[in-house]
């Protein structure tokens, strides 16, 4: 999932919601973002949101996420993330602010987990000699009809042709007579 796009869109929508630049209610937000923890953090403690300069808090939170999203999550990076969150929480000392930051932390953890899973899957694929589909058919065609150079003999005889096929591979179609009925509609009759 593209968490950066999700966060950007949600922050933009919440800016519109909080500042009233366009009519936007909670129901459309819930319909779009469903049970996304970041949305729940935004709307869960609205009574606390009005106690802080919410635009400044949202800008700071978004900057925090942009700084770390999509990067490599080494132990040193995780230590910086934790330190930045602690500094943020000491600065704002507000449950609404803390909830947003924890939801962003959870998104960073999800992103890291997905990246690790993809790397593990990629590592497994690199360790395999061939793709599974190729391994199943390996050796299947080493049968009669194979020449020394690895090519196969193709039979061109007419045995086994489907009914209706003529020599040369063309399909034999039944002759049809066209006629018109009393109502002027075209009628098709197979010739006998």
Cα angle for residues 95, 72, 12 (degrees, 5° grid): 45
Q: What pLDDT shows up at residue 129? A: 42
Q: What pLDDT shows up at residue 187? A: 52
Phi, psi of 179 (to 5 degrees): -150, 170
Residues 6+ apart with CB under 8 A from 62: 7, 8, 11
Mean pLDDT of 170-181: 47
- CA end-to-end distance (rounded Å), the chain: 64
Confidence category of residue 119, pLDDT binned at 50, 70, 90: confident
Residue 79 has pLDDT above 90, yes or no: yes
DSSP character for 172?
P
Question: Which tens digit of pLDDT belongs to each residue from 44-59?
Answer: 999 999 999 999 999 9
Tell me the Ramachandran region of residue 106: left when phi exceeds 0, alpha when psi lies from -120 to 50, beta otherwise.
alpha
Side-chain half-sphere of 120: how many Cα atoms within 13 Å?
6
Residue 5 has pLDDT above 90, yes or no: yes
CA 89 – CA 21 distance, rounded (Å): 28
What pTM was estimated for this model as a whole? 0.62
Q: What stretches of the chain show up as alpha helix (H) in DSSP?
A: 3-19, 26-33, 37-44, 46-49, 54-68, 75-92, 95-127, 132-137
Confidence category of residue 10, pLDDT binned at 50, 70, 90: very high
CA 133 – CA 4 distance, rounded (Å): 35
Question: Which tens digit of pLDDT belongs to each residue from 13-48?
Answer: 999 999 988 888 889 999 999 889 999 999 999 999
Confidence category of residue 147, pLDDT binned at 50, 70, 90: very low
Q: What pLDDT shows up at residue 134? A: 36
């Amino acid at each position: 999932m593209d968490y950066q796009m999700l966060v950007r869109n949600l922050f933009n929508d919440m800016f519109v919601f909080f500042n009233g630049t366009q009519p936007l209610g909670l129901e459309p937000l819930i319909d779009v973002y469903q049970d996304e923890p970041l949305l729940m953090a935004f709307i869960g403690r609205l009574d606390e949101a009005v106690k802080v300069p919410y635009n400044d808090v949202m800008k700071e939170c978004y900057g925090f996420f942009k700084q770390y999203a999509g990067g490599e999550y080494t132990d040193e990076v995780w230590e910086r993330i934790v330190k930045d969150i602690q500094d943020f929480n000491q600065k704002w000392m507000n449950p609404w602010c803390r909830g947003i930051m924890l939801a962003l932390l959870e998104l960073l953890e999800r992103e890291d987990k997905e990246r690790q899973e993809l790397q593990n899957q990629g590592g497994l694929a690199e360790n395999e000699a061939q793709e599974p589909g190729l391994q199943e058919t390996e050796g299947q065609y080493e049968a009669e009809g194979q020449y020394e150079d690895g090519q196969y003999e193709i039979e061109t005889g007419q045995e086994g042709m489907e009914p209706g096929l003529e020599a040369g591979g063309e399909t034999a179609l039944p002759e049809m007579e066209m006629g018109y009925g009393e109502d002027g509609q075209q009628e098709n009759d197979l010739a006998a």
